[in-house]
Structure formats: structure tokens, C-alpha cells
Structure 1
Amino acid sequence: MTTVVTSPPMACLLHAEVHPMTSTCWGTTLDWYLLHDHLEQAEARDAYQAAVEREMIDRHVRQQPA
């Protein structure tokens, strides 16, 4: 059986990873952009990417043994 992916992998703040986005992922992304609507478009994209990367690092650090 072949699985068809309709969405290219994107940075997901909800899951702190890069994967094909679901509607739940897009909802989180939209909410983030609406909270940051004061930013210019390019600035908002960069800030979103930085937020995803920070969350990825934070989750990675939390998973490390003490």
C-alpha cells in the first residue's frame, strides 16, 4: 500500500519537529502567527522558525538523564 503525503514536511511548533502538517499542526501555527501579527511577514517567519528550534532543543534537553 502506498501512502500519499499531500503536505511537504514543515517545521511544527506543536510537535517540535519537522513533518507533514495536519490540521491540528496548522491550527497551532495559525494561532502563533495571529499572536505575532505585529511582525513583518519575513520577521514573523524567522521568529516562528526560531520558536520551533527553541522548542526542539528544550525538549531534547528535558529528555536527557540528569
Structure 2
Amino acid sequence: MTTAIAATPTVCLLHADIHPMTSECWGATLDWYLAHDHLEDSEARAAYQAAVERKMLDQHVRQQAA
């Protein structure tokens, strides 16, 4: 019997979306965390989430203005 494992959708700053991450997405995420290594773990997670939400909102506003 074969078991299929679906990739879990994750918040992606690179694409400002929630989707199964590729290595490119994880690389961008790692780069972001390394650039913010001065933050505590919980602060870094909250800041990353806020950065993704901000980018998502920016994209949405630009699409609505077009």
C-alpha cells in the first residue's frame, strides 16, 4: 500500500501567499530569519508573519488600483 503525503501549506514571504513551499520559498524564508537573528524566536515568527501579511495587503491594494 502506498501512502501519499501532501505538503502542508505554509505562509510564504517570497510569494506573499499560503501554499506548499518549494526549496526557493524555504530559501527566502531562511534568508529572512538569518537577517533577523537578533530577534527572539517568538518575536521573529510574529515579525515574519507581519511581513507576509503586509506584502499580501500591498499586492491586493495594487491589484485593486489597477
* Shorter-chain TM-score above 0.5: yes
Count matched residues: 63
Q: Which has the larger radius of gyration?
A: 2
Structure 2 runs not aligned, ≥5 long: none
Cα offset, 1:4, TM superposition: 4.8
After TM superposition, the score normalised by the length of structure 1 is 0.88
Q: Which residue of 2 aligns with 1:16?
A: 16
Structure 1 runs not aligned, ≥5 long: none
Q: Which amino acid aligns with 1:40?
A: E
Which aligned pairs between 1:1-40 and structure 2 lie closer than 5 A? 4-5=5-6, 7-40=7-40
Deviations 1:2-55 (A, max 9, x none): x752x3111000110100100000000000000000000000000000000000
Q: Helix, strand or coil: the match of 1:64?
A: helix
Q: Helix, strand or coil: the match of 2:11?
A: strand
Q: Which residue of 1 aligns with 2:57?
A: 57
Aligned residues with identical type, % of pairs? 70
What RMSD, in angstroms, separates the aligned Cα atoms of the two structures? 1.4
Mapped to 2, the partners of 1:16 and 1:36 lie a distance apart of 18
Q: Helix, strand or coil: the match of 1:50?
A: helix
